Amino acid sequence: MLDLVIATSDDPMGPEQYRFVATDAWWLGSFGAHQHLTEHRLRTWIPAQPDRDWLLDRSLTGRQRWLTGSLEQAQEDGFELHDVAPVGLFRAPYGEFHRERDRCVEPSQRRRGSWQAPTPEFLDRLPRDPAALLQRLQDDHPGRWASPFSGAVDALRTCLVPADLRAALYQALTGLPGVTLAGGTSAFDGRECLVLVHDAGRTRTELMIDIADGQFAGERDTTRTESRCDLPLHTLIGETAVHSAVVDELGEQP
């Protein structure tokens, strides 16, 4: 484990305020032999009191980058080219946009918390000692489908991980096989970031860390083999740029 020290800090947040998270992303879509990246825009408002309504504004810009094949070829092959992710405005307490609001379910029954959907209680229970945190990551991800590194990234991309836990988590990740630190790399929006690189398995993942406050700033995935969807080695298959801030009103942007 590297003796990694990254300055982390959080903006003060009052009980009536919201954390605004803006995600600009290029994500992979596959249609048989045809693969392309589509540009997504997500704007999320997360209340300090999670039982209040969260708001998600999700849209597609219409921009595409074809990696193999083309739009015309995919249409000729009979594929209906639509993104599986729903677009529009969505509101729900606890960020459960996929579920209808069920007032018969007690709040404590709704979300138990996980790396993929962290609650304040889940994050509070995680150890702040990097060695213990590394062990917890490994214990919680024993299978082959979700790695300890991807579990940590799942939590970090919510921008809800507090500063002290982020600092411990970054150091813990350097104890994983295939993880190295790269400096001076830019996110695709031009910000200079520190980068933790997970170079293992089928995909190389770069975790972007904002040097200003140690907040999650995005990620970049490239292929490590030529077998994934018949894409060439080192093909970019996804990248995001993420910004967060504290705002006073639901729907307000900084």
Residue 220 has pLDDT above 70, yes or no: yes
Tell me whether residue 9 is in a domain.
no
E strands, the chain, where?
Answer: 18-31, 34-47, 53-68, 88-93, 179-186, 192-200, 203-210, 216-223, 236-247
> Which stretch of 11-25, 83-97, 123-137, 203-217 has the lowest confidence by average pLDDT?
83-97
Residue 75 has pLDDT above 90, yes or no: no
Strands 216-223 and 203-210: antiparallel
Q: What is the pLDDT of residue 81?
A: 67
In tens, the pLDDT along 166-214 reads 999 999 999 999 999 987 777 778 888 999 999 988 899 999 999 999 9
Tell me whether residue 2 is in a domain.
no
Q: How many domains does the chain have?
A: 1
Tell me whether residue 22 is in a domain.
yes
Tell me whether residue 90 is in a domain.
yes
Provide the 8-state DSSP code for 228: G
Q: What is the Rg, in whole angstroms, of the alpha carbon atoms belonging to the chain?
A: 19
Tell me whether residue 3 is in a domain.
no
In tens, the pLDDT along 38-53 reads 999 999 999 999 889 9
Cβ of 80: how many Cβ atoms within 10 Å? 7
First to last CA, the chain: 37
Count the residues in the chain.
254
Tell me whether residue 12 is in a domain.
no
Residue 215 has pLDDT above 60, yes or no: yes
Cross-strand partners of 92: 54
3-state secondary structure of 68: strand
Domain that residue 43 falls in: 18-101+108-247
Tell me whether residue 40 is in a domain.
yes
Q: What is the pLDDT of residue 102?
A: 45
Provide the 8-state DSSP code for 41: E
Res. 83 pLDDT band, cuts 50 70 90: low
Tell me whether residue 175 is in a domain.
yes
Q: In what order do the strands lie in the sheet with 179-186?
A: 88-93, 53-68, 34-47, 18-31, 236-247, 216-223, 203-210, 192-200, 179-186
Contact between 174 and 181 (Cβ < 8 Å): yes
Q: Which of 187, 160, 184, 124 is nearest to 246 (CA)?
A: 160
